[in-house]
Chain A
Amino acid sequence: MSGLQSWAQMGGYAVFVWPAYVVALVVLGGIAAQSWRRYRASIRDLNRIQRAPRER
């Protein structure tokens, strides 16, 4: 357990290292999530429009 703890403390720099990784994760993950959500929405939207008045 102490091995994990000392690793997590990052030689005393934990307060800098972990926020850096978290920020990278949040910002990049965030834009990935936003891009993906909007993508899925565009597919749904397009399917809806293409289905509707196509019956002729």
Chain B
Amino acid sequence: MTRYLHLFRRELQLAFRQGGEIGLALGFFVLAVVLFPLGVGPEAEILRRIGAGIIWVAALLSAVLSLDRLFAADYADGGLDLLALSAMPLEGAVIAKCAAHWATTGLPLVLMSPFLGLLVDLDGASIALLALGLLLGTPALSLLGAIAAALTLGARRPGVLSSLIVLPLYLPVLIFGAGAVEAGIVGGGARPHLLLLAALSLGALPLAPIAAAAALRQALD
């Protein structure tokens, strides 16, 4: 257990040392949300209608942008080889890395989302559903993103390629996350959506590391 905590802490330290990385994802998140009212028009009714969707799409795109942080640096300097050779199972290392990735990408998005909700004129209950949905769904984004990041190590143009690969994986998260807020507004009850989001993250927790570790082993061969 301590090995995983060590890896988790190391990843956190690295992320904080290059503090710009966290700020970059967050900055992109805010910028993407800000762009929409400028493109769509400032009428509150329209913004309220599409606001949750905008914020979720922006969260997805920020997650996609941050994926290369997961494995690329370690792949380049040999740290990944060391991880693979260590006594820790590679799947476990993937989980530890995803946990750190979530702490430095997903969690800041969750914390920033209420403010962005205000920008698109969402009411308090909707903001709560938005933030809760992001909280439940962003772990899935990190876990599923790890698959795409691992598959594209050493590929030509890994950034564009992992976006193409990962976005179909993100679709259900987007649908249920934005749907939760919508259901809250319409009055149908957001609980099924939130439960499905939790199910996606919990389902991804054992399965995604298996696929990602398999892909990492292929990259290291």
A–B direct contact (CB < 8 Å): no
**Which A residues contact B (CB, under 8 angstroms)?**
none
